[in-house]
């Protein structure tokens, strides 16, 4: 099986959208799930959210932000190149239901991940409001597409170069003043998901977050994606990645994410040396 890259678009610095040919994987995909890819035969396996799929073309859409060696190798590939493996769909689908008004919040690649969720919630008759958060205007991803799906889309940037100056929680505060919200889903950096969950907890608004725990096999065997939710141990790859944000132990998640930093630094240094033929 050849997992050929059919399309590649640069969305922002170090961030690309790719359509990858993986027809078997597309057969049972649902919003909120992810795939695990290997870029090279000896490379590590990295989990990536499903940002869309086309069963007729047999393609899955991914949004990749280069943060280390493997994601950098991936975004360097070109149309016509192939990935070594694509495994999926993995994980549980998002909590899709008829809620009323839903606010979907995306930061970084998380904006790509909320698109299939937004489409599904809209098709179920929900009012869907999207919030995209970014450091600056150049890093706002997928805005136009999200606008075609949602009833309303708001943008926040830390430097105020687009939309509201501030954080996604500032935008959420304003929305909560204007109308009742029945469900919130936040996908993006851990501090953002934590802040959103803390904001909705006292208001008792159902809140889901997608946990980007470190994963290896993605099938519940290795234990590396262990997270604490509601005082019990869960595996993000098979029990999640979506969990009730009010029950997640974010502190433990952050600590576990830091476990391999020295090795990740070394891998990136080797990658950069290879790129520069040093």
Ligand X SMILES: Cc1cc2nc3c(=O)[nH]c(=O)nc-3n(C[C@H](O)[C@H](O)[C@H](O)COP(=O)(O)OP(=O)(O)OC[C@H]3O[C@@H](n4cnc5c(N)ncnc54)[C@H](O)[C@@H]3O)c2cc1C
Binding track, positions 207-236, relative to ligand FES; x by CB under 6 A: --------xxxx-xxxxxx---------x-
How far, in Å, CA of 256 to CA of 226, rounded? 9
Site for ligand X in 125-164 (CB under 6 A): none
26, 59, 70, 200: residue in contact with ligand X (rule CB under 6 A): 70
Burial track 82-116 (b if 16+ CB lie within 10 A, e otherwise): ebebbbbbbbbbbbbeebebbbbbbbbbbbbbbbb
Measuring CA to CA, which residue among 140, 121, 118 is closest to residue 130? 118
Does residue 5 bind ligand X (CB under 6 A)?
no
What is the rounded end-to-end Cα distance, in angstroms, of the chain?
34
Measuring CA to CA, which residue among 186, 194, 212 is closest to residue 47? 212
Does residue 85 bind ligand FES (CB under 6 A)?
no
Q: Which does 149 bind (CB under 5 to 8 A by kind): ligand X, ligand FES, none?
A: none
Q: Which does 235 bind (CB under 5 to 8 A by kind): ligand FES, ligand X, none?
A: ligand FES
Question: Is residue 236 a contact partner of residue 211, using CB atoms and an 8 Å limit?
Answer: yes
C-beta nearest to ligand X: residue: 68
Nearest distance from C-beta of residue 222 to ligand FES, angstroms: 3
88, 106, 130, 241: residue in contact with ligand X (rule CB under 6 A): 241
- Between 29 and 215, whose beta carbon lies closer to ligand X? 215
- Between 112 and 245, whose beta carbon lies closer to ligand X? 112
Task: Note the residues at the interface with ligand X (CB under 6 A).
Answer: 34, 44, 46-49, 62-65, 67-71, 109, 112-113, 212-215, 241, 257, 264, 267-268
């Amino acid at each position: 099986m050849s997992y050929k890259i059919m399309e590649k678009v640069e969305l922002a610095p170090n961030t690309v959208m790719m359509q990858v040919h993986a027809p078997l994987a597309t057969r049972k995909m649902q919003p909120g799930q992810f795939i695990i890819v290997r870029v090279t035969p000896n490379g590590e396996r990295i989990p990536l959210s499903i940002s869309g799929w086309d069963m007729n073309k047999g393609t899955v859409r991914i949004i990749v932000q280069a943060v280390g060696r493997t994601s950098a190798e991936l975004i360097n590939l070109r149309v016509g190149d192939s990935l070594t493996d694509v495994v999926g769909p993995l994980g549980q689908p998002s909590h899709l239901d008829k809620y009323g008004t839903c606010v979907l919040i995306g930061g970084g690649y998380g904006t790509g991940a909320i698109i299939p969720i937004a489409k599904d919630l809209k098709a179920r008759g929900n009012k869907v409001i999207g919030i995209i958060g970014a450091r600056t205007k150049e890093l706002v991803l997928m805005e136009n597409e999200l606008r075609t799906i949602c009833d309303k889309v708001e943008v926040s940037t830390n430097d105020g170069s687009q939309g509201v100056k501030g954080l996604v929680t500032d935008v959420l505060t304003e929305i909560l003043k204007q109308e009742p919200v029945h469900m919130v889903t936040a996908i993006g950096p851990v501090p953002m998901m934590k802040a959103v969950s803390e904001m909705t907890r006292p208001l008792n608004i159902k809140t889901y977050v997608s946990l980007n725990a470190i994963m290896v096999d993605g099938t519940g065997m290795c234990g590396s994606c262990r997270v604490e939710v509601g005082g019990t141990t869960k595996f993000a790859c098979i029990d999640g990645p979506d969990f009730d944000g009010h029950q997640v132990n974010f502190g433990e998640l952050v600590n576990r994410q830091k476990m391999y930093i020295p090795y990740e630094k070394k891998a990136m240094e080797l990658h950069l040396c290879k790129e520069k033929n040093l």
